[in-house]
A = this chain, B = another copy of it.
Amino acid sequence: MRATLIHGPRDIRVEDCPDPELLADTDALVKVTAACVCGSDLWPYRGVNQIPKPRRIGHEFIGVVTEIGDKVETLKVGDFVVAPWANSCGNCPPCRNGVQVACEHRAVWGGTDEHGLPVDGGQGEAVRVPNADGTLVPVPGVGNPDEALAKSLLALSDVMGTGHHAALGAKVAPGRSVVVVGDGAVGLSGVLAAKRLGATRIIAMSRPADRAALAREFGATEVVAERGEEAAAKVRELLGGVLADSVLECVGTAESMEQALACTRPGGALGFVGVPHGHDPLPISVLFSKNISVAGGAASTRAYLPELLEDVLSGAINPGLVFDTVMGLEQAPEAYKAMDERKSIKVMLVP
């Protein structure tokens, strides 16, 4: 089969790879119908994360189950499934607590499983899925989704659930004012999540017209182009002299965290999902004096999939709009380039 590898900074290649096979009786094989590039894939692409040797890449995919191990109980061949970005067993204490990202038996897409056996990346034609029961979520009544539905299902693999996680961490609820820092696919999904959770005042921080427009379509009531202290001042002005109750940090840099803290009112809540880069650690003295709570981190999208899937299937939310570009799998290098240069919000790759 064909699959994507990262060889080094800005060196993405689609190559011939071995077809996956069942290696454990809890495995399933999935024929990928769509995958995508994540903002976090851009960190190794940009050389921020080390790449000691070429490796398979991609952790978001949807597709059809083609084979299952003997112990797989909740799936059958032919099921259309969404794979969360984090593999999970479903049975260990963290999984039972809904914190699947801390699964004690987690396999890593494009890496290895708990037995050290290789696991396929999502950006390829097929994937061996360890812990299939605990990981994959079947989509009832869907045979071969059309492109619009496929986009929204694929968004549930990561970005929509991650935006939802940020909104929960920021304690978004009806009546609370919301600021979203970051206008990538996760930040935009955070806007949609905040709207879905009942927020009526949502300020998105964005500059490009296409992203600002999508933020508004997702529920942003205002879009702020300023940055830094000017942005915080603008938020205060828009909210009648106070800062925001709930702030979503959806980037992961020192600047974005500082921006998020500066926009949060005393006693407010900051939900953070941007993978931390360069701002470890957090200024506890600011949290102490302003009583700002911080929650979030890597999102257990598996936990949120059932409720979000229901809203996608009913048409209540359309998170797939973050995919403004569709390319064939062979164009993976171009997909990375388009996202790196912010020419595309998010690219769907179709094998």
Contacts and interface: CB of A to CB of B under 8 A. Distances in A.
A95 to B, nearest CB: 10
A97 B265 contact: yes
Interface string A263-281: 0011101001001100111
A300 B291 contact: yes
A63 to B, nearest CB: 28
Contacts of A266: 94, 97, 99, 101-102
Residue of A241, A294, A297 with most partner-chain B CB within 10 A: A297
Contacts of A279: 284
A298 interface: yes
Contact of A285 (B242, B257, B280, B295): B280
Interface string A85-111: 000000001100111011000000000
Interface in A273-330: 275-276, 279-285, 287-298, 300
Interface in A223-275: 241-242, 257, 265-267, 269, 272, 275
**Chain A at the B interface: SS class:** mixed
Contact of A276 (B241, B285, B294): B285
A99 B291 contact: yes
Given A97-B265, A276-B284, A291 B102 contact: yes
Interface of A: 93-94, 97-99, 101-102, 169, 241-242, 257, 265-267, 269, 272, 275-276, 279-285, 287-298, 300
15 contacts: A93-B265, A94-B265, A97-B265, A97-B267, A169-B293, A280-B283, A280-B285, A281-B281, A281-B285, A282-B282, A288-B297, A290-B297, A291-B298, A291-B300, A294-B294
Given A287-B294, A291-B298, 19 more contacts: A93-B241, A93-B242, A93-B265, A97-B265, A99-B266, A99-B291, A101-B289, A169-B293, A257-B284, A272-B288, A275-B288, A280-B284, A281-B283, A281-B285, A282-B282, A282-B284, A288-B296, A289-B298, A290-B297
Which 10 interchain pairs have the tightest Cβ spacing? A102-B266, A293-B295, A99-B267, A281-B281, A288-B297, A282-B282, A291-B297, A99-B266, A94-B266, A281-B283
